[in-house]
Amino acid sequence: MVSAPKPPTALQIAVLVAVMLVAGTSNSVFSKWQDMQCVANCDDPARKKVYEQPVWQTATMFLGETLCLVAFKIINSKYNPYNPSRRRVASASARVAASHSQSARLASAPLSRPDESAFNFNESAISLRGDEEEEGIKAAQMAAKQAEENPFAWERAILFWGPACCDICGTTAMNVGLLFVPVSIYQMLRGALVLWVGVLSLLFLGRKMTTSQWSSLATVMAGVAVVGCSSLLDAPKKEVQSTAADEPAVSPLVGVCLILVAQVFTASQFVLEEKIMEHQAVEPLLAAGFEGFFGLSTTITGLLILHVFIGSKPSGQGGYFDAPEGWHQIVSNPSIWSSSIAIAISIALFNFCGLAVTRTLSATSRSTIDTSRTLLIWLVSMSLGWEHFKWLQVIGFGLLVYGTFVFNGITQFPKWTGLRDTPQPITVILPASDDELSDGDDDEDVDDHLSHSNSSLGRSRSVDTSGRPVTKRSGSGRRGEVSPLLKNIDES
C-alpha cells in the first residue's frame, strides 16, 4: 500500500501563495510593459511607434497555459511519489481502515440508557453509517484506481475548444483595452467578472441567488463604475502630452468598455468549464493545458486567416492582424521577446500555484489572495511611475472587493441594512419509537416533548445556521410522515 505523504507545511503554503502573487502580478505588469516598448521611429517622439500586438499577446498567454500539460505529466508521473492518483488511493485505504476501527468501537461501547428500542436504533444507525461511509470510500477508492488505470480520454479534449474560443475573445479584448488604460484600472475592472458569472450561472446553470448576492452584485457594479470614472477623469491631465486633442478622452473610455465586454466572454468560459467538469472527470491542471493547446492553435490559425483578408491589405499593414510585422517586432526586440517568455512562464506558474492553493486551502482563500494581487499590481505600477494615487480609485476598489467578498460568502452586509439572508433550517426526520407511536395523537406541549427519554425519537430536528438544534414533534407521530419546517424565531 502506498503511504500518503504528509500535508504541506505552513512554509510550503506560504511559498505557494507568494509564487502565485508574484507570478500573477508579473503577468499583468509585463503585459503593460510590452505595450510601452518602442518598435519604430524611437528617435522621433512625434512618429514614435510602440508595441501594439494584442493578438500575439493572447497567443503568448495560451503558450503559458499549454505548459500546464507538461506540469501535469510531471506531477502524474509514475515515478513521482507525490502522484495525486496514488495519494488518493492511499488516503481512501486509510479512511476504510479508520472507518472499520471506529465502527467497531461504537458497536462495543455501552449505552447510557439500556432501552431496547433506543439500542436497536443506535445499532442500526451505526450499521447504516458504517455501510454508507464504507461504500462511499470504496467508490472513491475505485474511482481513483480507475483514473490511474484509465486516464481521461484525449478524444474528449475537444470539449475544451469551446471555453478556449471564449478565452480568445475575452483575452484579446482585454489586451486591446490594456493599451488605453493603466494596468491597475485594467486589473480592477476585471472584478466585474463576478457579476457576469452570477448572471450566466442563473440563466444557464439553473443557480439561484439570494437577496444578499444580488445586492453584492449591485455593489460590484458600483465599484466598476467608480473605477471606470477614475480613469476617465484622469485623462485631461495627459492631454498636453498628446498630439491628438481628442485621443485622451476617447481612448480610456474605449479601453474600459473593451475590458468590461471581455468579462462576458470570460464568464461564458467559466460557465462552459463548469458544465464540462460536471460530466467529465478531468484534473483542473489538465483542463487548463487543453484550453491552452486549443487556444494557441486557434489563435495562430485565426491570425493567419485575418492576415490574408485584413493584415496584408494596405489599410491593415502594421495593425493588429499583420502577422509578419508582429512576429518581426517580437524577435527583433530583446525586451519584447524576453518579456514574452516571462509572461508565458508566469501564466504557467500562476495556474499551477493557484490550483495548488485551491486544493490546500480553498477556492475562497484563492479569491481572497487574488484580491491582494490586484492591490500589489497597483503598488508596483505607482512605484514605477506609471500611475499616481487617486482616492476615487481607492473607493471603487473597496466597493469591488467588498461586493466580491459578500458574493463569495466571506463576509456579510451589516445587520442594519436588512440585506442579510434569512437562515433556513434543515429538517432531519428521526424514526419514532414504539412508545411514541402509541400516543402519537395526544396534544402535548413542547416542554413535555423535551423531557422525553432518548427512546422517544419521533421528532423532527431543525438546525439553523448557527448550529443550534430546534426540536418539534412530528404531526401524528406515525412513521413516514414528514413535519413542516420550523421557522427560525431565534434572531441572532
pTM of the model: 0.68
Q: Which of 67-71, 186-190, 265-269, 283-287 shows the lowest per-residue confidence on average (mean pLDDT)?
A: 283-287
Which residues is 469 bridged to in the sheet? 463
- Annotated domain spans of the chain: 84-152, 423-492
pLDDT at 463: 38
The yes-or-no verdict on residue 148 having pLDDT over 60 is no
> Strand 459-463 relative to strand 469-473: parallel, antiparallel, unpaired?
antiparallel
Choose among 347, 279, 269: nearest CA to 62.
347
**Confidence tier at 60 by pLDDT (50, 70, 90):** very high
First to last CA, the chain: 50
Question: Among residues of the chain, what percentage have pLDDT more than 90?
Answer: 24
User: CA separation (Å) from 433 to 112, 325, 462?
Assistant: 17, 82, 19
Q: How far apart are CA 55 and CA 323, in angstroms?
A: 9
Average pLDDT of the segment spanning 90-112: 46
Residue with cell 430536528: 461
Q: Classify the C-alpha dihedral 408-412-413-418 as positive or negative.
A: positive
**Confidence tier at 353 by pLDDT (50, 70, 90):** confident
